[in-house]
Structure formats: C-alpha cells, structure tokens
Amino acid sequence: MSDIIMLTGIRGHGHHGVFPKERRDGQEFIVDINVLLASSNAASSDALADTVNYAVVADLVHERIVGEPVDLIETLAENIAAAVLLLSGVSSVEVTVHKPQAPIPVPFTDVALRIRRP
C-alpha cells in the first residue's frame, strides 16, 4: 500500500524552451508532484527520519526549475522525477510540469505534461 505526499504549485523562473527568447528571458514554470511512499512507520514513530521530507522534495523540484536549461518540459519532468526517486523511502512519483506562458499564438490557460515513474 502506498501513501502520497502531494506538493502543488512549486514555482520558479526557468529558462527552458526551444526558442531563443525562452532561453534568454525565461518564464515561470509550475510543478505539482505526488510522492508515493509508505508512511505508516512515520505515523507510528512521529519521526521525520521515517518519512520523505517534503521540504527536501520542494527544494529538489525548485533547483531543477531554476537550474540548467533544457529544451523540453518532458526533459524537465524526467529530471525532477529522477532526483526525487533517489530519496530514501520513495516508491514512485508523479510529476506535472506547467508552462502557462508557453509560446502559443492562440489564447490558452496552461500547457502541462504529467509523467509517472516507478
């Protein structure tokens, strides 16, 4: 049985994208992440060491948003998932990357990609 830590709306100014303007000026990216884990030990012990620290997860996500630019949100999502999967106690993750200012020539609210990794 897996439990879920959910973090929504982690924001950062990143320079991801395929167009020179995106790389030069950057834009806001928003990430939602669900971290699957077994939380029963932490519930019993009431000890942070027995769970996944969501502050650490948030920092890892933010570092990748504002860090080294990549062309695609697919790559950004994979990089985030890979980093979080390295944390002890994480069994799988679901990452959604939002790019609300994507260079699309028609009115829209959001572009998002969601991935799930083991």
pLDDT at 1: 63
CB 60 within 8 A of CB 80: yes
pLDDT tens for 6-58 read: 999 999 999 999 999 999 999 999 999 999 999 999 999 999 999 999 999 99
Whether 9 contacts 32, CB under 8 Å: yes
Fold of 3-117: GTP Cyclohydrolase I, domain 2 (3.30.1130)
Of 102, 30, 13, 18, the closest CA to residue 66 belongs to 13
**Which residue in 38, 99, 111, 118 is the catalytic one?**
99
Per-residue pLDDT tens over the stretch 56-107: 999 999 999 999 999 999 999 999 999 999 999 999 999 999 999 999 999 9
21 is catalytic: no
Q: DSSP secondary structure string, 87-99? A: STTEEEEEEEEE-
The beta-strand segments (E) located in 1-118 are 3-14, 27-37, 90-98, 112-117
